[in-house]
Amino acid sequence: MRRQSTRRSGAASVELAVVLPVLVTLLVGIWEVGRMVQVKQALSNAAREGARAAATGSRTDAEVDTIVKNYLTAAGLNTANYTVRVDNLTTDPNPKPTDPSDDPEAASQLDHLRVTVTLPFNNVRWVLIKQVTTITTLTATAEWYSQKDLPVVIDTTMPVN
């Protein structure tokens, strides 16, 4: 005795049609989250590079801005509408967002400096994730202490024995 197999032509196609949208949504979500982690890391590194440059005590805000922009551009990020803010927390521990930033050239040795980099979320998103999140900007902050050297004064009037 042989059993007759029931025909299931098209069953795999129907199952794929049901599962594929869920699978694609999941994969795109994972892809977008991975992209955000990558961008956040690049933004943190750019802020750190800017803070390191500001900590030398010999860079202006414009030079720090250029260093951050070059880092973001090298990382392949769109720098349209980004902002870089340099604050000297030693002179103003609670800087207001509307105040102009302090000039790092005026920093003394061991002044506490903060560099904040902000990038619009629309510059880096790959898919239409606006429906899922309300994030409008990505921000990274780095803090360093000024490593500006104190000038060494040598008194040449004293006799040498």
DSSP assignment, residue 93?
A: S
- CB of 51 within 8 A of CB of 142? yes
The residue range of the domain holding 29 is 17-145
| Domain assignment of residue 150, yes or no | no
Number of domains in the chain: 1
Q: Which two tokens stand for residue 157?
A: 């009037």
Residue 100 is predicted with a pLDDT of 39
Nearest to residue 81, comparing CAs of 137, 129, 140?
137
Digit-by-digit pLDDT tens for the chain (161 residues) are 566 666 777 888 899 999 999 999 888 888 888 888 899 999 999 999 999 998 888 888 899 999 999 999 999 999 999 999 998 888 777 775 543 344 544 667 788 889 999 999 888 876 665 566 677 889 999 998 888 777 778 878 877 66
Q: How many Cα neighbours within 13 Å face the side chain of 13?
A: 3
Q: Which pTM value belongs to this model?
A: 0.72
Domain-located, residue 50: yes
CA 156 to chain centre: 49
pLDDT (0 to 100) of residue 128: 62
Question: Does any domain span residue 49?
Answer: yes
Is there a domain that residue 8 lies in? no
Percent of the chain with pLDDT over 90: 35
In a domain, 91, yes or no: yes
Mean pLDDT rounded to a whole number for the chain: 82
Asked whether residue 123 is domain-assigned, the answer is yes
Domain presence at residue 70: yes
Give the single-character DSSP code of 106: G
Assigned domain for 26 exists: yes
> Whose CA is closest to 146, among 54, 30, 70, 72?
54
pLDDT of residue 102: 45
